[in-house]
Amino acid sequence: MQNLTLTQQLTELIAAKPVTTADLEHAALLTLDGLANALAGRVSEPGGILLRWAGETVVADAARRAFLLGALTHILETDDLHRASVVHPGCVVVPAAWAVAAREGIRGHAMLKAVLWGFEAATRVGMAVGPSHYRIWHNTATCGPYGSAMAAAALLQLDAPATVHALGNAGTQSSGLWQFLEAGTMTKHLHAGRAAEAGVLAADLARFGFTGPPAILEGAKGWFVATCPDADPDAVTRDADGPWQLLRTSIKPWPSCRHTHPTIDAAQELRHRVVAGTIEQVEVETYPAALEVCDRPLPQSDYEAKFSLQHCAAAALTRENVDFAAFTQSARAELADLRERVVVRVAEPYASAYPQAWGGAVTVTVRGGERVTARRTHAKGDPEAALSPVELIAKARMLMAYGGVREPDRLIDAILALSDDSVLPELP
């Protein structure tokens, strides 16, 4: 593959990977998680806006449907996360694969294989962008189009040259900046939707012969040069014989930025060891990216609270469940005093371990000077501390019920049956 471009090498690598029954079953679980997030995302202010915009016209247009599902999936901050790439692949790949498979009348096995392919492309590109990219660019938005294009190309049975054209044109649409965090706007949901839509559009055009740049990643005027000052191009094809990246993807148990989850996990342990009213100080140790995104001592909205290490630590130390209610206005007011006593800082070994491991520690000092600490190398929901299928299904049931789905178990069973090559169920 020495004389091939990176997208050509990536296309060959993915096509050559074997798919087992266990891989399809795992893909069905992550498809369930993604769709449950989309259905729950409808019950939100941005979800309502998206649904009013969509009206009745979006269902017939696969690219627009992928946009809508992708945007909805990313609203509640409970969708999956691939650590090494810092990409949320499910909110981009699952909507794109679902929209195209539904349009084309494709059954479960092909759809789940496309999900595997899409996760692989998005995360492999994500692992190559380097840490500097993430400081300005939102990796889900920028790397996601490669995943949605690969998933759509698989479903459309594009040959290798056409798939490369799809990846090239998906990559040239790649965008998504972190500036929205400064004002707490809804832009992050647009990022996921556009990334899903871009890949579907690129693959559909490639089916008609529309060409795209084969060296979109490493070319002299390509994506790495434009947006990745410390890119690691070899990461695109590294460990080609390893497990599918979908199997290395984490599932979120709590509705907040994944960077807050090691803190929540550790603080929940300490909740059983300290009395909340005696806490004098809380120290959170983490890695630099978590502070860059989630150092937010005075969150002014539910969404800002989900990106606040200080708020998440206070919530986990005082509440049995860190659920949607933990981020509301009343919860923010209730936790304001404790939140002021939370100090956050970068520390080892968490800084050096990131992004391969997303860890952290919480230390609580109580009245009288006693200090207790809980540490996490990995957060709950990571492959090393994975949610069981039972836990994941329970999460999906909760999300669907939150989204107003009647008989959620019937839909859950139908989605999981995709691994038996069943037909795609209709989404409510």
Any idea what DSSP says for residue 377?
Answer: S
1 lies in some domain: no
Range of the domain at 128: 6-251+386-420
178 and 263 co-located in one domain: no
CA distance 370 to 363: 10
171 and 90 co-located in one domain: yes
192 and 112 co-located in one domain: yes
70 lies in some domain: yes
Q: What is the pTM of this model?
A: 0.94
* Residue environment code for 25-59, b if the CB has 16+ CB neighbours within 10 A, otherwise e: ebbbbbbbbbbbbbbbbbbbebbeebeeebeeebe
280 and 233 co-located in one domain: no
203 and 57 co-located in one domain: yes
360 lies in some domain: yes
231 and 269 co-located in one domain: no
214 and 311 co-located in one domain: no
Task: Determine the pLDDT at residue 99.
Answer: 97
Task: Determine the pLDDT at residue 230.
Answer: 97
Task: Determine the pLDDT at residue 387.
Answer: 95
Q: Which secondary structure element, helix H or strand E, spans residue 170, and what is its range?
A: helix 160-172
Side chain identity, residue 134: Y
183 and 276 co-located in one domain: no
Spell out where 181-330 has E strands.
Answer: 279-286
Task: Determine the pLDDT at residue 181.
Answer: 87
Residue pLDDT tens, the chain, 428 long: 568 999 999 999 999 999 999 999 999 999 999 999 999 999 999 999 999 999 866 767 999 999 999 999 999 999 999 999 999 999 999 999 999 999 999 999 999 999 999 999 999 999 999 999 999 999 999 999 999 999 999 999 999 999 999 999 999 999 999 999 888 899 999 999 999 999 999 999 999 999 999 999 999 999 999 999 999 999 999 999 999 999 999 999 999 999 999 999 999 999 999 998 999 999 999 999 999 999 999 999 999 999 999 999 999 999 999 999 999 999 999 999 999 999 999 999 999 999 999 999 999 999 999 999 999 999 999 999 999 999 999 999 999 999 999 999 999 999 999 999 999 999 99
How many Cβ atoms from other residues are within 10 Å of residue 112's Cβ?
Answer: 25
Task: Determine the pLDDT at residue 182.
Answer: 86
CA distance 392 to 37: 12
277 lies in some domain: yes
**Tokens encoding 405:** 């789905």
148 lies in some domain: yes
How many Cβ atoms from other residues are within 10 Å of residue 316's Cβ?
Answer: 27
How many Cβ atoms from other residues are within 10 Å of residue 159's Cβ?
Answer: 10
CA distance 217 to 310: 38
Assign residue 362 the CATH number of its domain: 3.30.1330.120
22 and 125 co-located in one domain: yes
Task: Determine the pLDDT at residue 183.
Answer: 86
Task: Determine the pLDDT at residue 269.
Answer: 96
426 lies in some domain: no
- Report the domain count for the chain: 2
197 and 281 co-located in one domain: no
Task: Determine the pLDDT at residue 276.
Answer: 87
323 and 197 co-located in one domain: no
Any idea what DSSP says for residue 87?
Answer: B
73 and 202 co-located in one domain: yes
Q: Which secondary structure element, helix H or strand E, spans residue 375, and what is its range?
A: strand 371-376
Task: Determine the pLDDT at residue 292.
Answer: 94
Task: Determine the pLDDT at residue 2.
Answer: 61
427 lies in some domain: no
